[in-house]
């Protein structure tokens, strides 16, 4: 996937930064090949990096406690014997824009 992103950076085209958070940069691919994972399964539900630890913990029989507000979930729908799908609601969150950056003179 490619894309263009408009930012408030002072960089010119071709100059690099340490990362972006646009849609072209955040589409992630994850795959798991284990006997306890479904084969050829495409999960249409939202999945986050925060979901990896709770899922692995369940697979390996560990008990972990979430710290802070970022709490992942066990990806039951991707595990053998799990539900075919889970229900979810698509949402879009839009943050308030930052004030304009003053250009150096």
Task: For residue range 92-103, list pLDDT tens digits in order.
Answer: 888 888 888 887
Res 2: pLDDT: 56
User: What's the CA gap between 86 and 66, in Å, rounded?
Assistant: 22
CB 45 within 8 A of CB 83: no
Q: Which has more pLDDT, 86 or 99?
A: 86
Section 3-28 average pLDDT: 66
Q: How far apart are CA 86 and CA 88, in angstroms?
A: 6
Q: Are 82 and 74 in contact (CB under 8 A)?
A: no
pLDDT of 5 reads: 61
C-alpha to C-alpha distance for 36 and 24, rounded to whole angstroms: 31
Percentage of the chain exceeding pLDDT 70: 78
Mean pLDDT of the 20-27 span: 64
């Amino acid at each position: 996937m490619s894309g263009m992103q408009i930012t408030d950076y002072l960089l010119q085209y071709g100059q690099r930064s340490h990362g972006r958070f646009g849609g072209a940069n955040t589409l992630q691919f994850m795959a798991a090949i284990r006997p306890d994972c479904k084969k050829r399964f495409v999960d249409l539900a939202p999945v986050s990096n925060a979901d990896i630890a709770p899922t692995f913990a369940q697979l390996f029989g560990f008990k972990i406690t979430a710290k802070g507000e970022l709490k992942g979930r066990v990806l039951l729908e991707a595990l053998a014997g799990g539900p075919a799908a889970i229900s979810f609601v698509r949402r879009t969150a839009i943050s308030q824009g930052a004030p304009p950056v003053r250009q150096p003179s």
